[in-house]
Structure 1
């Protein structure tokens, strides 16, 4: 199973019952396709970068789950058919990306420290040879 995250934007004027129904529907899709639901976060209503369907604001939801490509296809198909959903985007996550990105930064910091120490050591060596 692969790790995925989906962010979807719904109409900002939806009631609590409609939002709960949509969230339950998304969780049912994941469970029905043998996926593993991890987390659903409500990021609240925010101003959109540009109007979508004459709406300047949207309510953002973050969904984290494990599954396969068939699950993504079905989830996106159902989100596309729902009129309450303005936009959505799914992304496959990779564990190695986080660790690999952190390692070069640390190596680069060590390289900077070594570069700073090297001229100081050369300057000290020059002063001892001149005496």
Structure 2
């Protein structure tokens, strides 16, 4: 099955438990449609570069999934309809990276950046 990575931003006035329960909710949507969540992270409340729906901050969540495209389309449809979800991003990848995402790694644990030309 195809591999995907998802990031979504939920409203800032949710509690941490409510924001994490959104990940569980959308995981069950994928499971009902023949997919599975391989890995998920809750990144916490972060300040955004610009306001979205009069919100300066949002709860960020990240998921790595292995799911057919029909499951992904259904999950994205439900995310768009959900009042607490402000933005979503889904990317199809060739393979999942091992370990935590770059967002959760400490600066000294990350790989060095390439030199610019």
Question: CA deviation digits over 1:27-62, x for unaligned, max 9?
Answer: 111110110211110111111111000001111100
How far has the Cα of 1:18 moved from its partner?
2.1
Query: Paired residue for 1:123?
Result: none
| Root mean square deviation, CA, Å | 1.2
Q: How many residues align?
A: 95
CA contact (8 A) 2:2 2:66 kept: yes
Report the structure, 1 or 2, having the larger helix content.
Answer: 1
Distance 1:42 1:17, change over 3 A: closer
Q: In the aligned structure 2, how far is the partner of 1:21 from the partner of 1:58? A: 15
Q: In the aligned structure 1, how far is the partner of 2:21 from the partner of 2:60? A: 15
Q: In the aligned structure 2, how far is the partner of 1:54 from the partner of 1:36? A: 33
TM (norm. structure 2) is 0.76
State the secondary structure of the residue aligned to 2:83: coil
